[in-house]
Amino acid sequence: MCLGSRESMAYASTRRTAPVEIIGHRGSPREHRENTLPSFARAFADGADAVELDVHATRDGIVVIHHDATTNARAGEHGPRVVIAASTADEIAAVHIPGGSIPTLAAVLSATPDRATVYVEVKAPAIEVAVVSVIRSSGRRCAVHSFDHRIALRVHELEPTIPVGILQTSYPIDPLRPIRDAAARDLWQHWELIDLALIDRVHDQGGRVIAWTVNDPDVARRLVDWGIDGICTDVPAVMRSRVDDYCA
């Protein structure tokens, strides 16, 4: 953590001193198609400490990386529109998307540098066992998070050594309650709903706050001054450079 402003220095005694983690949001999506091997490789090449990705599972139980439950579901995308949960892994592997094919979680973890962390957002219900199994087998440093806080709790119950997090787009009256209810370490909060008080409250309870999705260097600087733990971004190269400059 870097404390540059006068306001920040006033709170220095209560803040963490760990470096700010730069997390590539689905890799480096402005350079390569999101959630693909080239996108993740580019994020790490640009100095990201970690990447964040989205997972579903196929009908035969293979965990694959894709944001939506259906392939080629967005405006401008072409190709077969296939429901991942209703398809086999071979059928999903045959689907072409810009930038290649839909990778498995196992393949991405095997290509992840030893130094890095992979944050796995679980998008589909009832796939926690499969996700935990892949993470255990990989030997990589991973954490799991979800908008469905029940998924985070279930992963914690299955494998307490895997840190879990919860995603939020609201600012609860008691922000600590959902963290406690899910046995979470990480609060993934939309950057517009983060303030100094929230970060301090979470830190006081031993938790971490990760801001998403931050692409504005001025916003990043404010968050760094407040003691943010991680910045999830579409532009990891920019954030790596700017945050390093702030901390120099």
Question: Which residues face 70 on adjacent strands?
Answer: 83
For Cα atoms 121, 123, 129, give the angle at the middle one, nearest 5 degrees. Answer: 80
Query: Please, is 220 exposed, middle or buried when counting C-beta atoms within 10 Å of its C-beta (0-12, 13-18, 19+)?
Result: buried
- Quote the crossing angle between the two packed helices 149-158 and 128-138, to the nearest 10°: 50
Per-residue pLDDT of the chain (248 residues; tens, 9 = 90+): 464 443 443 343 345 467 999 999 999 999 999 999 999 999 999 999 999 999 999 999 999 999 999 998 887 777 889 999 999 999 999 998 887 899 999 999 999 999 999 999 999 999 999 999 999 999 999 999 999 999 999 999 999 999 999 999 999 999 999 999 999 999 999 999 999 999 999 999 999 999 999 999 999 999 999 999 999 999 999 999 999 999 87
Q: 139-162: b or e for each residue (b if 16 or more CB lie within 10 Å)?
A: ebbbbbbbebbebbbbbbeebeeb
Class of domain 6-68+102-247: alpha beta
* CA-based nearest residue to 37, from 57, 62, 64: 64
User: What one-character-per-residue DSSP string does 5-24 give?
Assistant: SHHHHHTGGGS--SPPEEEE
Three-class SS of residue 168? strand
In the structure encoding, which two tokens stand for residue 23, read together?
Answer: 């997390």
In the structure encoding, which two tokens stand for residue 56, read together?
Answer: 């579903």
Q: Are 165 and 230 in contact (CB under 8 A)?
A: no
- The pTM score is 0.93
- The one-character DSSP state at 103 is P
